[in-house]
Amino acid sequence: MSGVASSWRPIVRLAARGDGISDDGRFVPLAAVGDTVDFSQTPPLIHPGPHHAAPACAHYPDCGGCQMQHMDDAAYRDFVIDRLGRVVALPADVRSIALSPPRSRRRASLKALKRGGKLQLGFHSEGTHALVDIADCPVLAPELMALLAPLRGLLKARLKDGQGAGVALTLADEGVDALLANVSADGLAAIESLSDFAHAHDLARLSVEEPGGIDTLVERRQPTLSMGGVGVPLPVAPFLQATREGEAALVAAVCEAVGNAARVADLFCGLGTFALPLSRQAQVLAVDAAGPAVMALGVAARRAGRKVDVQHRDLFRRPLEGKELAGLQAVVFDPPRAGAELQAKALAASHVPVVVAVSCNPNTFGRDAKILMEGGYHLTTLWPVAQFRWSSHVELVARFERG
């Protein structure tokens, strides 16, 4: 490094959690590729390079929600591809990364704590129980962000000093669905206060979760999400893709990967994110262990006249295999972060022509992909999806062909 002191080292790549790594292997938080670092200082002094960016959030990096606001989009895209390339040999056909825009997150799980008469509402700092009080979040959809100030007022009045609570917000097609955990709804005054809040802020639904379970206090409109042109009624605090843009990218990739298959299985189907779009042209077997989700999917599919056969089943313990896979022209599997090792082994032993993996964890995807490839499949196409903007969380769709 001509003209640069020996204590200065370049950042040449990023670790899985977004830390910069120097050319001599040292980890540097908040450093981007192209930065240079003076290790003679404590902490090391970062000289910003061409891909270093000013964070979009005043709470960064204290809030644990984002790890990568210190780099531009080009560096982030390189990070995504590099991370995927470390778990699987990339195919020739790698599509452009679908990156969700700022202020597009349609679900959020926040924590609240009342202490010394003051109410904090926000996210935990990464790896700690420290609560970061959020004034603004450039990730959240405006409809969710607009509720944070009113929620502070409500929770300050409802919580005792030292008491904590959970807040789950979901932006449905009909408005916001809110779930408050550890917030008492005992007595007429409490119910009226919570109901008044729901009406004043036009919530679609407001529920509370106490030790006895979940109780819906107000449902002004049934929260639904449109999936493949079908409105699916949402259970309270459902799992759904984080952004509409991310969901659209994943659905488009899955539909392209499945192609003209007429008989398809959607494993770990959830509410039907893929099953319902695929059912426009295919007979779909949709399987998941989440009872409320598959029940909602079944109701929606029947009402719409879609060809979806719903099965409530724990695929971690009882994967689809053998004769159950026979005759299927394509299988889509979208497991949680733990992946689907047993299901991947069953697929590897099958004769299904096309397997489409959807993953939210590159590490477990790499393991499951290896199982499929050792069973005779080859990876043809990869669609990277980054709907958790500024996060090290990477998602993807991968198409495997038999033979």
To the nearest whole number, what is the mean pLDDT of the chain?
Answer: 95
- Please check the confidence at residue 24 and state whether its pLDDT lies above 90: yes
Cα separation, 389 vs 329, in Å, equals 34
For residue 78, tell me if it sits in a domain: no
Q: Write 156-162 long-range contacts (CB < 8 A, 24+).
A: 156/114, 156/118, 156/119, 157/193, 158/183, 158/184, 158/190, 158/193, 158/194, 159/112, 159/114, 159/119, 159/183, 160/114, 161/114, 161/115, 161/116, 161/117, 162/114, 162/115
| Overall average pLDDT of the 113-137 stretch | 92
Residue 77 falls within a domain, yes or no? no
Helices (H), 177-290: 188-200, 244-258, 275-278
Pair 14, 114 in one domain: no
Task: Looking at the structure, tell me whether residues 282 and 364 fall in a common domain.
Answer: yes
Judged against a pLDDT cut of 70, whether residue 2 lies above it is answered with no
Domain boundary among 192, 224, 256: 224
Considering only 91-100, 126-135, 230-239, 348-357, which range has the smallest mean pLDDT?
126-135
CATH code of residue 277: 3.40.50.150
Residue 129 tokens read as 């129980």
The mean pLDDT of 125-141, rounded to a whole number, is 91
- The answer to the question of residue 214 being in a domain is yes
Q: Which of 161, 189, 224 marks a domain boundary?
A: 224
Instruction: With respect to residue 133, please indicate whether it lies within any of the assigned structural domains.
Output: yes
Residue 324 DSSP code: G
Residue at 79 is within a domain: no
Q: Which of 1-10, 216-225, 287-296, 385-394 is predicted with the least confidence, judged by mean pLDDT?
A: 1-10
Calculate the alpha carbon distances from 25 to 9, 28, 120, 234, 287 in Å. 10, 10, 39, 47, 45
208 and 255 both lie in a single domain = no
Tell me, yes or no, whether 55 and 122 share the same domain.
Answer: no
The reply to whether 246 and 368 lie within a common domain is yes
Q: Residue 3: pLDDT above 50? A: no
Mean pLDDT of 85-105: 97
State yes or no: pLDDT of 88 exceeds 50.
Answer: yes
277 and 391 assigned to the same domain:
yes
**Confidence check: pLDDT of 96 > 50:** yes
**113 and 199 together in one domain:** yes
The tens digit of pLDDT for each residue in 138-147 reads 999 999 999 9
Residues 191 and 311 in one domain: no
Partnered with residue 209 across adjacent β-strands are 181, 214
What confidence score (pLDDT) does residue 125 get?
Answer: 87
Number of independent structural domains in the chain: 3
CATH classification at residue 186? 2.40.50.1070
Q: pLDDT digits over 325-369, tens only?
A: 999 999 999 999 999 999 999 999 999 999 999 999 999 999 999
Cβ-based neighbour number of residue 77 at 10 Å: 16
Residues 96 and 117 in one domain: no
Residue 289 within a domain? yes
Q: In angstroms, rounded to a whole number, what is the distance separating the alpha carbons of residues 275 and 266? A: 6
Name the pLDDT band for 129 (thresholds 50, 70, 90): confident
Looking at residues 199-226, what average pLDDT do you find?
A: 96
Residue 211 pLDDT grade (very low, low, confident, very high; cuts 50, 70, 90): confident
Q: Would you call 167 helix, strand, or coil by DSSP?
A: strand
* Pair (135, 277) in one structural domain: no
Global pTM value: 0.94
Lowest mean pLDDT among 21-35, 78-92, 117-131, 319-333: 117-131
What's the average model confidence in pLDDT over 199-215? 95
Per-residue confidence (pLDDT) for residue 7, from 0 to 100: 85
Mean pLDDT on 85-99: 97
**pLDDT tens per residue across span 250-265:** 999 999 999 999 999 9
Whole-number pLDDT of residue 1:
46
Is residue 71 in some structural domain? no
Burial of 40-70, coded b for 16+ CB within 10 Å and e otherwise, reads eeeebebeebebbbebbbebbbebbbbbbbb
Q: Is residue 311 part of a domain?
A: yes
Considering the domain architecture, whether residues 216 and 262 belong to the same structural domain is answered as: no
Domain housing 353: 87-101+240-402
Share of the chain above pLDDT 90, in %: 94
> Across residues 367-378, what is the average pLDDT?
98
Tell me the pLDDT band of 321, cut-offs 50, 70 and 90: very high
Question: Residue 5 has what pLDDT?
Answer: 52
Domain boundary among 162, 190, 224: 224
Residues designated catalytic: 360
Residues 259 and 346 in one domain: yes
